[in-house]
Amino acid sequence: MPLVVLVNRGTAGGAEALAQVLRERRGAKLVGEPTPGFGLVATRFVLDGAAAIRLQTARMESGLGAGWLGSGLAVDVHAPDVADLEFGAPGDASIEAGARILSRASRPEPKER
């Protein structure tokens, strides 16, 4: 089944991880703008009962070893983010590009004669 994931600069951390795993494992196409590259895991350590500190303790990587810290995820199809449009409004380039990909992928293969 064809799959498109819409991404932009707001797709960060765990959302980047999900997008990358769907790309690697399910062949998803990433459409939109590159992601910001937030690929760190933070852990909270409690100090003296009333205080705590949060430290970055790990880097996120996909199961195949791809990392995106600092570089973000590149998109397969660039579509400019239109921040002033409501989600799904006409003129949303990301949704239109994703719909074109899905439409092409769902067409039946021509039969040979």
- Taken in order of first residue, the domains within the chain and their CATH numbers are 4-106 (3.90.226.10)
- What are the pLDDT digits (tens) for 86-111? 766 777 888 888 888 898 887 776 77
Q: What is the mean pLDDT of residues 59-67?
A: 92
Helix (H/G/I), strand (E/B), else coil: 90: coil
Report pLDDT digits (tens) over 22-48: 999 999 999 999 999 999 999 999 998
Long-range (24+ apart) CB contacts under 8 A made by 98-102 are: 98/4, 98/6, 98/29, 98/31, 101/2, 101/4, 101/29, 101/31, 101/77, 102/2, 102/4
Q: What is the pTM of this model?
A: 0.79
Instruction: Output the six-digit token pair for 107.
Output: 């067409």
Average confidence score pLDDT of the chain? 89
Question: Given this model, what pLDDT does residue 88 score?
Answer: 67
Mean pLDDT of 12-26: 95
Using CA atoms, how far apart are residues 84 and 91, in angstroms rounded to an integer?
Answer: 11
pLDDT band at residue 78 using 50, 70 and 90 as cut-offs: very high
